[in-house]
Amino acid sequence: MKYLVLLAVLAVVYGLWRNSQRRAAPPPMQARPAAPPAIPEPMLRCAHCGVHLPQSQALLKDGRSYCCEAHQRQG
Ligand SMILES: [Zn+2]
């Protein structure tokens, strides 16, 4: 009976030791690079039709923004 208790204690200690070893090792899934966070882009309003569009897609002329070349010419 004494050896049974000793065996149980050793099994628990071994289990805890294995758990700590697994936690110490770096998880392989975290090596994957995360997607870059979306940067909020300022929205501009077309001076001709009033549609809102991201700054990267806007056409700028004389300090005004336009949604397309046609509105840029008309504006
Ligand atoms: Zn427009």
Longest dimension (CA), the chain: 96
pTM for this model (two decimals): 0.47
Ligand 1 is an ion; residues with CB less than 5 A from it: 46, 48-49, 67, 71
Going from the Cα of 70 to the center of ligand 1, the distance in angstroms, rounded, reads: 8
20-71 tens-digit pLDDT: 887 776 666 666 777 777 778 899 999 999 999 999 999 999 999 999 999 9
Going from the Cα of 40 to the center of ligand 1, the distance in angstroms, rounded, reads: 22
Going from the Cα of 55 to the center of ligand 1, the distance in angstroms, rounded, reads: 13
Residue 8 CA to its chain's centroid (Å)? 45
Extents of the domains making up the chain: 43-75
Kindly report the number of other CB atoms within 10 A of residue 38's CB atom: 6
Going from the Cα of 38 to the center of ligand 1, the distance in angstroms, rounded, reads: 26
Residue 72 sits at φ, ψ, to 5 deg, of -65, -40
